[in-house]
Structure 1
């Protein structure tokens, strides 16, 4: 009986696939890049989807993923979201699965709270970030997956977050807002070639994942809306972020690993993170932020060829007493900035905590921070570096950095306290705590394994 059921389900997939190809026979083959190509292809319309922007497609997405997951072991499956506007609530993905969003397709996030099931807080956070207890499921989710791809021809996923932003501001939400994409406990994950916009909160949140490729994303959110972070790798190993552009009301990239005592206990760092060819606009936050939730540790982060415009800060480290963990072995080079408040910003007094149970004696380790080969124009403050009294931030190195101050600059270009390190060829001259010497700050010469991964050339008929 079980064999007959399996055969029937597989037959449904094959029939659906064949019918879709016949229906689409006059369409073109569109190339795309992926960690793996797929043997089976189906279309959201095969499962009752309607791209009118009004009809809910939650059931269609769920049926499509459930149906196509039956061929996961037979070359995997690809679901095409064709041209149209596809309204949906939260839905999950499967292993050996590709979600392909056509260039003229828009996935619209439902604005109904009931379309986002309540789920438990992340174990490394202990509670919701915005409210105690549970949180709303993200629009696109996945847990314990292998080989999952979310891509397209620069199709759009629009979270329609305005109603969520208004409720959050008015304190009308009892749970943490949904994210746009959140994938947990998974390996071999790719998110690429998409426009992501107007998430209720964070846009891309891979968490407890390994081997993550994020490339060629355009992420757009109003610069006046807080917590609309672009890309937040959280307790992930071996991640690369490439060729992407973010406009946000919060950090463009925020590197995280859990919150206070919960992150310390869970003890899963973000490590071996590579960022390259990245552009950010964020008037009220950072281009790359390390923390503030970094209690599981952050190490071996490499960023280069970064461009910042009209942003509050270039590279920022956010932590505080109670966080524990560490931020160490950070390497940044080749950064160009214009119209900035801060180029370098570190603060050890970032005081938000999940609950009163945190240990104020859990002090973070901030060390081996390397910045080199940077240029910036129209800057208010070059560096504001504040460690924690009795817990200095150490081994900071800044070399070959030239900053042109704005006309309305502060009296002090630098302010440093409870930090130590060296500087070389820095204009304006760095603070005395960064001892001037002849040094070329470090940047690793080896290549991370995730940077060696080459995507396959695939195609899909659309």
Structure 2
């Protein structure tokens, strides 16, 4: 397009991007933070960025080509949206990548497009605008029927996309800073008209990668894939004050085939919260979260769980496989939250290899988690909780081993625990286990569980184990992508 000259040819386009990697020592040979300095056959020098992605792109541009200014003061919302809109024309021509160089890029919400990569340099920071009046408002999610902070709609997320395919949000540990303090204050003062925005939300989409980024100070949830499939969330560092309200790390919601791996999360709410809709709205929408991998997660959250299932689980949660989980100073390891009126199910949950330090509870399940969307929920909609498996768990400095509370007339069944060693804190509760309305079995669990979980004797290797077959999402391999910038 004449109005977009950097797209005239790939060679011309690449040569315009000389400024995007400021701070590289040009005389240094080899790799520097994923950047290689090389020379082509015509003695032209260039930087070559390499990164891993589900798909590489044939076209590329920098946000500076659209008038972006990384001074931390200039609002770049229009520049980002114009860039995405222009690059969308290459969706069927190998896709396109938008590079965000070093700088502090103030922006409001902008929409993404298909066959698209947003790449943040290691010294790039996206700063979310603090002008609340400038944030657009969207309807509540149909599986919720209600905003979570208020009864009305919700502010659109900083990075947003719907009905997309093949989207990559990545970088060499670039940063997205939600500047959430203002939002937290307004929330506590009950001054918000709508639910706070998330940092990243992708809806009704397929083939999504979110990786190799640092996310700071989200107004509320950090990463929210919803009604989507084939999602990989990898290598994120997510940090918010542990007292910040509802700053969940990663919330897969009514999604299928999801892989969450190698993430560090320190937050004011659950590190990973698995969801699928709220009360009668979630039941009606009927879209479960299923076939979910969570592995190599490190979590710090003194008031919440490393992994939570619910409380919004009315569309169902099934086939969740969590392994190699480390939690430090976290309220609980894996928590199931549900209630009368939720309906839905949580079943076929497999947890293997948890290392926990300083916990209030190791295991926590509750059927009395209220917080209904409205008063129209069905009191006869009882959740089904069954097939919950834990094995190879080590925990120390624990106040209480387990708090397991099913629902009267609707017990939680098929609970299995094997090879579990819990060392109690000096000021631990007198009785380490509380169990009501649950059924299950245990093997090799210390301290001795409650009578509802009878010991089957010496550990049986087959108890509580993972399914043998891999999920399809585990077999997806990344491509090695490169990005040249001539100078």
Range into which the TM-score falls when normalised by the shorter chain:
over 0.9
What is the CA-CA distance between 1:461 and the residue it aligns to?
3.4
Say which SS state the counterpart of residue 264 (structure 1) adopts.
helix
Q: Within 2, Cα distance between the matches of 1:23 and 1:258?
A: 47
Q: Call closer, same or farther: CA 1:48–1:18 in 2, change over 3 Å.
A: farther
Alignment pair present for 1:37 and 2:56: yes
**1:453 corresponds to:** 476
Residues 439-448 or 324-333, more deviating? 439-448
Say which SS state the counterpart of residue 83 (structure 2) adopts.
helix
**1:291 corresponds to:** 310
State whether residues 421 and 433 of structure 1, in contact with CA within 8 Å, keep that contact through their aligned partners in structure 2: yes
Q: Any idea what the Cα deviations from partners look like across 1:328-368, whole Å, max 9, x if unmatched?
A: 00000011000111100000000011111111110000000
**2:363 corresponds to:** 344
Where do residues 237-256 of structure 1 align in structure 2 (5 Å cutoff)?
237-256=256-275
Alignment pair present for 1:21 and 2:8: no
Gapped regions of structure 2 (runs ≥ 5): 19-44
State whether residues 16 and 42 of structure 1, in contact with CA within 8 Å, keep that contact through their aligned partners in structure 2: no
**1:314 corresponds to:** 333
Alignment pair present for 1:219 and 2:212: no
Alignment pair present for 1:95 and 2:114: yes
What is the CA-CA distance between 1:21 and the residue it aligns to?
1.8
State whether residues 229 and 256 of structure 2, in contact with CA within 8 Å, keep that contact through their aligned partners in structure 1: yes
Count of residue correspondences: 455
What is the CA-CA distance between 1:288 and the residue it aligns to?
0.1
Q: Within 2, Cα distance between the matches of 1:13 and 1:207?
A: 35
Alignment pair present for 1:442 and 2:462: no
Q: Any idea what the Cα deviations from partners look like across 1:73-111, whole Å, max 9, x if unmatched?
A: 000000001100000000010000000000010000001
Alignment pair present for 1:333 and 2:352: yes
What is the CA-CA distance between 1:113 and the residue it aligns to?
1.2
Alignment pair present for 1:185 and 2:197: no
What is the CA-CA distance between 1:115 and the residue it aligns to?
2.7
Q: Within 2, Cα distance between the matches of 1:112 and 1:99?
A: 24
Q: Any idea what the Cα deviations from partners look like across 1:50-80, whole Å, max 9, x if unmatched?
A: 0000000000000000000001100000000
Q: Within 2, Cα distance between the matches of 1:360 and 1:113?
A: 38
Residues 167-176 or 429-438, more deviating? 429-438
Q: Within 2, Cα distance between the matches of 1:368 and 1:13?
A: 56
Alignment pair present for 1:125 and 2:118: no
Which of the numbers 44, 53, 68 marks the counterpart of 2:72? Answer: 53
Q: Call closer, same or farther: CA 1:408–1:16 in 2, change over 3 Å.
A: farther
State whether residues 119 and 169 of structure 2, in contact with CA within 8 Å, keep that contact through their aligned partners in structure 1: yes
Q: Within 1, Cα distance between the matches of 2:9 and 2:215?
A: 29
State whether residues 384 and 416 of structure 1, in contact with CA within 8 Å, keep that contact through their aligned partners in structure 2: yes
Where do residues 355-434 of structure 1 align in structure 2 (5 Å cutoff)?
355-434=374-453
Say which SS state the counterpart of residue 62 (structure 1) adopts.
helix
**2:105 corresponds to:** 86
Q: Within 2, Cα distance between the matches of 1:91 and 1:123?
A: 22
What is the CA-CA distance between 1:436 and the residue it aligns to?
1.1
TM-score normalised by L of structure 1: 0.97
TM-score normalised by L of structure 2: 0.92
Gapped regions of structure 1 (runs ≥ 5): 1-6
State whether residues 143 and 184 of structure 1, in contact with CA within 8 Å, keep that contact through their aligned partners in structure 2: yes
Q: Within 2, Cα distance between the matches of 1:178 and 1:412?
A: 42
State whether residues 218 and 246 of structure 1, in contact with CA within 8 Å, keep that contact through their aligned partners in structure 2: yes
**1:4 corresponds to:** none
What is the CA-CA distance between 1:24 and the residue it aligns to?
3.2
Which of the numbers 251, 265, 268 marks the counterpart of 2:284? Answer: 265
State whether residues 16 and 46 of structure 1, in contact with CA within 8 Å, keep that contact through their aligned partners in structure 2: no
Q: Call closer, same or farther: CA 1:175–1:51 in 2, change over 3 Å.
A: same
**2:123 corresponds to:** 104
What is the CA-CA distance between 1:12 and the residue it aligns to?
4.3
Q: Call closer, same or farther: CA 1:17–1:172 in 2, change over 3 Å.
A: farther
Q: Within 2, Cα distance between the matches of 1:100 and 1:460?
A: 10
Alignment root-mean-square deviation, CA: 1.2
